[in-house]
């Protein structure tokens, strides 16, 4: 089905069109949700909420830019909102203000990823604290700048930089840990 037909079908509330749209993009968006979530269950919730928002916001879609990009923004924003609401619920502080100047990059060598499956890398990202994960995702995958991240997450630019740095350090340690503890079972 052509994209405009799909969109108009979804706007009209036709179940078949909605189903097709879901089938087309669910996998891609689920991958995004998995990166922002701490576990699969949370990713599923994000995906569900994201698609509901897409279907309910379709009327406001102005066909400026790509449709997929528009949907992706909704999914990402929804994921961020989901994490924020989760923070409030847990009453925890995820963003740590750290003096960036004193922060040092780890000097360990980054191992090659060729042999590490995607599932493991995903687990690494999911294992990051929420604040680190958000900034890392936005910076690395969504290509946001620290300024944009600061505005989006209501934090300072320095905090964004700190979070990113820490995220990198943690990920690097995990990867080194893998390469050291990898066991080949006969």
4 binds another protein (CB under 8 A): no
CB of residue 174 to another protein, shortest distance in Å: 6
> Distances in Å between the alpha carbon of 145 and those of 76, 137, 184?
15, 11, 41
In 43-106 the beta strands, taken as DSSP E runs, fall at none
Q: How many CA atoms lie within 13 A of 135 on its CB side?
A: 27
Q: Which of 6, 7, 34, 83 binds another protein (CB under 8 A)?
A: 34
Q: What size, in residues, is the chain? A: 186
The stretch near another protein (CB under 8 A) out of 60-68, 76-84, 90-98, 115-123 is 115-123
59 binds another protein (CB under 8 A): no
5 binds another protein (CB under 8 A): no
Helix 118-126 and helix 15-36: axis angle, to 10°? 70
Q: How far is CA 138 from the centre of its chain?
A: 7
| Interacting residue ranges for another protein, rule: CB under 8 A | 12-16, 18-19, 22, 26-28, 30-31, 34-35, 40, 44, 47-48, 51-52, 55, 110, 113, 116-123, 125, 127, 136, 139-141, 143, 145-147, 168, 170-175, 177-178, 181-186
């Amino acid at each position: 089905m052509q994209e405009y037909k799909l969109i108009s079908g979804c706007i009209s509330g036709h179940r078949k069109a909605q189903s097709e749209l879901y089938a087309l993009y669910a996998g891609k968006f689920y991958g995004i949700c998995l990166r922002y979530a701490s576990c699969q269950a949370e990713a599923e919730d994000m995906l569900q909420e994201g698609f509901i928002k897409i279907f309910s916001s379709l009327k406001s879609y102005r066909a400026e830019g790509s449709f997929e990009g528009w949907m992706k923004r909704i999914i990402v924003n929804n994921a961020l909102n989901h994490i924020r609401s989760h923070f409030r619920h847990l009453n925890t502080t995820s963003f740590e203000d750290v003096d960036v100047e004193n922060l040092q990059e780890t000097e360990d060598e980054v191992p090659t990823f060729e042999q590490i499956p995607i599932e493991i890398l995903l687990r690494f990202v999911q294992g990051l604290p929420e604040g680190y994960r958000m900034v890392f995702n936005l910076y690395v995958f969504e290509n946001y700048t620290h300024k944009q991240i600061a505005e989006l997450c209501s934090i300072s630019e320095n905090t964004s930089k700190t979070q990113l740095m820490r995220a990198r350090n943690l990920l690097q340690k995990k990867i080194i840990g893998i390469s050291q503890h990898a066991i080949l079972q006969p």
